Amino acid sequence: MHLTKKPPHKRVNSIHVVAAPSNPPTSFHVTVLSCNTIRAEWELPSANRNGIIRGFKVFVQPSVGGDELVFNVTGNGTTELIIEDLTPSTSYVVSVLAYTVGDGPRSIHLTVMTSEGNICKFM
């Protein structure tokens, strides 16, 4: 009988820390589509994602005050959102954040103004 000696088994411990993203989404911009509709577009955070991006939150608030609307976009493959039913001729502040197990920082805040109401008649 021939015995072979096996090398000792090595145990490797690794720790993967999952936290909220350290950076906001990049290339954020907003386009006015009509008197009551805008499109927000962005790209994944460029670095320090701290895990798999599970989704995004888009924040929309009238510039003169009022309730902030929050839209949840799940998954990391969708990087745009069309927001409808806004008030014509109104200025809105829009931002976006990415999240993993927690919310990352918000992007820059962009201000856009929806078109005048008579454009809606043609849509």
Read off the CATH number of the domain in which 40 is found: 2.60.40.10
Task: Please name which of 64, 81, 63 lies closest in space to residue 72, comparing C-alpha atoms.
Answer: 81
**Per the domain annotation, does 98 fall within a domain?**
yes
In a domain, 7, yes or no: no
Give a yes or no: residue 49 inside a domain: yes
75 lies in some domain: yes
Domain with 51 in it: 26-122
pTM of the entire structure? 0.81
Split at pLDDT 50, 70, 90, the class of 50 is confident
- pLDDT (tens digit per residue) in 79-106: 999 999 999 999 999 999 999 999 999 9
In a domain, 16, yes or no: no
pLDDT digits (tens, 9 = 90+) for 57-78: 999 999 998 899 999 999 888 9
pLDDT value of position 123: 39
Residue type, 90: T
- Are 41 and 32 within 8 A, CB to CB? no
Q: What integer best gives the mean pLDDT of the chain?
A: 87
Number of domains observed in the structure of the chain = 1
Report whether 46 contacts 74 (CB < 8 A): no
